[in-house]
Amino acid sequence: MTQAMTGAKMVVQALKDQGVEVVFGYPGGAVLPIYDEIFQQNDIRHILVRHEQGAVHAAEGYARSTGKPGVVLVTSGPGATNAVTGITDALLDSIPLVVLTGQVPTFMIGTDGFQEADTVGITRPCTKHNWLVKETDKLAATLHEAFHVATSGRPGPVLIDIPKDVQFASGTYTPPNGAGRSHYQPKVKGDIDTITQLVEAMEKAERPVFYTGGGVINSGPAASQLLRELVEATGFPITSTLMGLGAYPASGDKWLGMLGMHGLYEANLAMHGCDLMINIGARFDDRITGRIADFSPNSIKAHIDIDPSSINKVIHVDMPIIGDVGHVLEDMLRIWKSRGRKTNKPGLKKWWGQIDAWRQVDCLSFDPSPKTIKPQHALQRLEALTKDHDRYITTEVGQHQMWAAQFLGFEDPNRWMTSGGLGTMGYGFPASIGVQLAHPESLVINVAGEASWLMNMQEMGTTVQYRLPVKQFILNNERLGMVRQWQELLHGERYSHSWSEALPDFVKLAEAFGAKGIYCDNPDDLDDAILEMINHDGPVIFDCLVEKHENCFPMIPSGEPHNKMLLGDASTSDVIGSSGAVLV
């Protein structure tokens, strides 16, 4: 049913019609008409962040933990540019977002007007698509198309730039289905012949491995369910990227743990030594492959991905299958069953024997300490004390992030929110806010490093204002730990600007915002302190003083293949060659 209304009202109407419940935003001159409409309704909740970057990461956390698109509303100029880091983060991790930006009125565009920035120009390379809407009559259709593009195919952030005069002017509103079918319709069904070929390879493989990624999570809970069924039925080992944790349960006996630069020994060696690699919704990122020429040299590779440009981008594969992970898994299972549920049992038995031997290496072991809290120990205790809770974890970026991925177990998808592709320090705290808003009754913990956490600490105001009981679990090593680790291994232990000087007293900081602060530096007090954090009904900053010079292992040095993995400090001298040193 079409209706006449102002552009500003259309924005709110379209959000309602798209089922949006929460908008993360920050007002300013160029979006005042939209804020005026938000004021006059109660269906959509607006969360006032303290910085536009925070709004975008919060929307990412919301999206990642619900499977729904996150929505952001910011003003022109600095509002839009502040959002750019978050938008790029969402692009690299394929998170569906709809970002609305205000713009100077159409007749002022190009005059360097106050708070004018070429927002669509700036965000063209960091959005999946973006639009500048110059006519109110086109606004409704564009808003609906934006939700369609953000959520279909490989999800990603989209942006609509709306000049202020377009917000004030009246036009015709069309509801979502009235807008006509979009030409953007990515293919979701995989090619049956190639899927059958893959099933044939699975029947014969002696050393198969499933290598799964964020695509399984993005495909939805049904895809995770199908993956579990397939793994159980075939008995193949499974590993996952950082982005895919939780698609297969960490407690499952086929689980090898995360792979990649800081992945588990058994996972990386299984990738290196397999004869059939089945990539499901992962993208052969350089953190995963190490040296390309030596990547899994003797395997046949299948790659299931909804984005055709992911195929053969980095690693040439033998069986490309373009389609939605859920659809393809369904076909795989069906075909495998109809052909008699065959696997190479003797081969698999030997393969598991090999894997069990690798597991014996116990690559995550670390030297415990009675005096200082080891970060790994802190996470083990956090895991033990929270794993039975209805729990969501976000992280910042650095060593703590890798330890969290190694030491926390994820049983379900959408429970783990981390910045993988862009590696954005400052992601985790606002993301935890978005997660908590979506899951008000759940325990939401941001595993943070002190340096990352400070990058978006202003969001304490948001947590207190909206009574969001997020727990900021800061593994405080008073170091830019990951940078320090690289300097130790790569730059002759010259620790150039990699320590955190002049840190705040985090307990007082919490109190200054009206939240609770907890300090702990003694392993004996750790459990009680963690319980105190969990049991407090409100936001908490937990300042957990940890060992300052702990390194994160295993580690595959840049430019090395999977089987050249470092397991501990003893093996680290002169590890990274000069060709590796230029890599990041």
Partner 1 sequence: MSPLQIQKGTSRHSAYDLRDPHSDVEEVHTLAVLVDNEAGVLARVIGLFSGRGYNIESLTVAEVDHEGHLSRITIVTTGTPAVIEQIKAQLGRIVPVHDVHDLTVEGPAVERELALFKVKGSGDKRVEALRLADIFRANAVDSTLESFVFELTGTSAKIDAFAELMRPLGLIEMARTGVAALSRGV
Ligand X SMILES: Cc1ncc(C[n+]2csc(CCOP(=O)(O)OP(=O)(O)O)c2C)c(N)n1
Q: Closer CB to Mg ion, residue 447 or residue 510?
A: 447
* Minimum distance of partner 1 from residue 482's CB (angstroms): 27
Q: Which partner in Mg ion, partner 1, ligand X, none is near 423 (CB below 5 to 8 A by kind)?
A: ligand X
* Minimum distance of ligand X from residue 186's CB (angstroms): 31
- Does residue 316 interact with partner 1 by CB under 8 A? yes
Quote the CA–CA distance of 418 and 414 in Å, as a whole number: 11
* Minimum distance of Mg ion from residue 245's CB (angstroms): 22
Q: Is 39 marked active-site?
A: no
Stretch that binds partner 1, among 123-131, 256-264, 370-378, 571-579 (CB under 8 A): 123-131
- Does residue 115 interact with partner 1 by CB under 8 A? no
**β-strands 3-6, 170-173 pairing:** antiparallel
* Minimum distance of partner 1 from residue 428's CB (angstroms): 28
Of the listed 202, 460, 482, 565, which one is catalytic?
482
| CA neighbor of 273 nearest in space, from 252, 259, 261, 254 | 259
Per-residue three-class SS string for 223-263: HHHHHHHHHHHHCCCEEECHHHCCCCCCCCCCEEEECCCCC
Q: Is 342 marked active-site?
A: no
Q: Is 114 marked active-site?
A: yes
Interface positions, 480-519, toward Mg ion (CB under 5 A):
481
Quote the CA–CA distance of 566 and 568 in Å, as a whole number: 6
- In the block, which residue shows the tokens 């014996």? 360
Structure token digits, residue 488: 């130790």
- In the block, which residue shows the tokens 């040095």? 557
Q: Is 164 marked active-site?
A: yes
* Minimum distance of ligand X from residue 185's CB (angstroms): 36
| CA neighbor of 215 nearest in space, from 296, 307, 85, 91 | 307
- Do residues 158 and 99 touch, judged by C-beta distance below 8 A? yes
Question: Phi first, then psi: what are they for 349, rounded to 5°?
Answer: -65, -45
Quote the CA–CA distance of 190 and 293 in Å, as a whole number: 28
- Does residue 311 interact with partner 1 by CB under 8 A? yes
Stretch that binds partner 1, among 7-15, 122-130, 352-360, 504-512 (CB under 8 A): 122-130
Q: Closer CB to partner 1, residue 183 or residue 497?
A: 183
Q: Closer CB to partner 1, residue 198 or residue 363?
A: 198
Stretch that binds partner 1, among 210-218, 305-313, 373-381, 433-441 (CB under 8 A): 305-313
Helices first, then strands: H and E counts in the chain: 23, 20
One residue of 2, 3, 170, 309 binding partner 1 per CB under 8 A:
309
- Do residues 27 and 59 touch, judged by C-beta distance below 8 A? no
- Does residue 322 interact with partner 1 by CB under 8 A? yes
Interface positions, 188-227, toward partner 1 (CB under 8 A):
191, 193-194, 197, 201
- Does residue 121 interact with partner 1 by CB under 8 A? yes
Structure token digits, residue 212: 């799964």
Quote the CA–CA distance of 312 and 317 in Å, as a whole number: 6
Q: Closer CB to partner 1, residue 116 or residue 550?
A: 116
Quote the CA–CA distance of 471 and 200 in Å, as a whole number: 48
Q: How far from chain centre, in Å, is Cα 346?
A: 38
Q: Closer CB to ligand X, residue 22 or residue 480?
A: 480
Q: How far from chain centre, in Å, is Cα 170?
A: 39
Quick note: the x/- pattern for Mg ion over 442-481, rule CB under 5 A, is: -------xxx-------------------------x-x-x
Interface positions, 124-153, toward partner 1 (CB under 8 A):
124-125, 128-129, 132, 149, 153
| CA neighbor of 71 nearest in space, from 135, 143, 123 | 143
Run of H or E residues at 162: strand 157-163
Q: Closer CB to Mg ion, residue 265 or residue 407?
A: 407
Torsion of CA 420, 398, 447, 227, to 10 degrees: 30
Q: What are the catalytic residues?
A: 52, 114-115, 164, 482
User: Which residues in this chain contact Mg ion in the complex, by CB under 5 A?
Assistant: 449-451, 477, 479, 481
User: Which residues in this chain contact partner 1 in the complex, by CB under 8 A?
Assistant: 120-121, 124-125, 128-129, 132, 149, 153-154, 183-184, 191, 193-194, 197, 201, 300, 307-309, 311-313, 316, 318-322
